[in-house]
Chain A
Amino acid sequence: MAQLRAQPAEGDPSDRWVAQLRKGALEMAALASLWRGRLYGLEIIRFLENHSRLVLAEGTIYPILSRLKAEGLLTSEWVEAEAGHPRKYYSLTDAGRQRLRQMAEAWVGFAGGLSRLLEPVLHPADQDPSAGTPVLKTQEITQ
């Protein structure tokens, strides 16, 4: 399956729409990556790549983390690492957990409703199997 790219897509309006949609989910995705415990920036990027097929322009996530922290949804701490330089770890605050839970509920409700709406678009053949009539092609319907 094609990956959703983070870079602002140019040209094709449907590419742009996908890019907007992706960006829209990013704040929630960043919070969700921290649900199980603290991570540093690069770990968050990798986590999102592995768990959600969200491929990020790597610079995108840091300003978002900074904003979430300013909103009190995240805290951060510098931790000395074996790598030789310290890393900035982020974790969810109580407010962050609460906000994420609300976002997740809203998202799932919204996506569930839309999926039902889009079902006939993606699977036109399932539309009315009992009728036994051949499924019209899009072109014929619009004529």
Chain B
Amino acid sequence: MTAEMQIDSYLTALRLHLGPLTIAEREEIVREIGAHVRDSAEETGASIETVLARLGPAKELAAQYRDGLLIRQASRSNSPIVLLRATLRLATKGVFGILVFFLAIFGYAMGGGLVLTALIKPIFPANTGLWFDGNGHFMSSGTLFPPPGSSAHEVLGLWYIPLALTIGSLALLLTTFLIRRSLRISQHWQSKL
């Protein structure tokens, strides 16, 4: 393989692994790395192979670009999918990331669950609610099939709908806020770690 072919094959792999970036960002990176390889080989007299080895595998180099970008974009996003993807990525990097990931899952599950049961309440009114037993102790809440036995009484009635919607939405908002906050913090660390 000639030197030019080696460079091309490295840059092609890099371009491939930079997939999620915009074309402009991708081409800019590829052009810069290409210039680096040629300059570095010229300057040190090293073979293209050596220079490419010093750069590390194209896949890993691309991953370093992508991580920074993914987390940066996500820290400005409201989409649960984008945020969860970023936290999942963060979770591979250490304990803080794992905690954030579980918090995200918990927050989305709780918020989403409450909103969902609020929507189900009009369809299955007897199965959805907040139940206490005869002594006034909390028994259960949400949507249950079958509903709790006769010892339980449901206390909210149709009030369940606005309450669950409000608390659920607040949980979703708070989760979004906390994830974005954590991603920003991790960005600062990342630039330091």
Judge: A and B partners, yes or no: yes
Separation of A40 and B68 alpha carbons in the complex (Å): 21
Q: Pick the interface stretch among A83-91, A115-123, A133-141.
A: A83-91
- Do the beta carbons of B65 and A66 come within 8 Å of each other? yes
- Do the beta carbons of B40 and A27 come within 8 Å of each other? no
Separation of A40 and B37 alpha carbons in the complex (Å): 13
- Do the beta carbons of B32 and A88 come within 8 Å of each other? yes
Residues of A within 8 A of B42 (CB): 83
User: Which single member of A42, A63, A70 contacts B43 (CB below 8 Å)?
Assistant: A42
Separation of A121 and B32 alpha carbons in the complex (Å): 45
Q: How far is the CB of B135 from chain A (nearest CB, A)?
A: 55
Q: How far is the CB of A30 from chain B (nearest CB, A)?
A: 10
User: Which single member of B31, B51, B191 contacts A27 (CB below 8 Å)?
Assistant: B191
Within 8 A of A (CB), among B43-101: 43, 51, 54-56, 60-61, 64-65, 67-69, 72
- Do the beta carbons of A85 and B191 come within 8 Å of each other? no
Interface size on B, residues (CB 8 A): 28
Q: Mark A62-74, 1 if CB is under 8 A from B, else 0.
A: 1110111010000
User: Which single member of A27, A60, A62, A64 contacts B32 (CB below 8 Å)?
Assistant: A62
- Do the beta carbons of A57 and B35 come within 8 Å of each other? no
- Do the beta carbons of B38 and A85 come within 8 Å of each other? yes
- Do the beta carbons of A63 and B65 come within 8 Å of each other? yes
User: Which single member of B36, B60, B64 contacts A42 (CB below 8 Å)?
Assistant: B36
Residues of A within 8 A of B36 (CB): 41-42, 58, 62
Q: Mark A3-29, 1 if CB is under 8 A from B, else 0.
A: 000000000000000001001100100
User: Which single member of B55, B67, B72, B192 contacts A59 (CB below 8 Å)?
Assistant: B55
Q: How far is the CB of A70 from chain B (nearest CB, A)?
A: 6
- CB within 8 Å of B: which residues of A? 20, 23-24, 27, 40-42, 57-60, 62-64, 66-68, 70, 83, 85-88
CB pairs A–B below 8 angstroms (8 shown): A42-B43, A58-B55, A59-B56, A60-B64, A62-B32, A70-B68, A87-B35, A87-B39
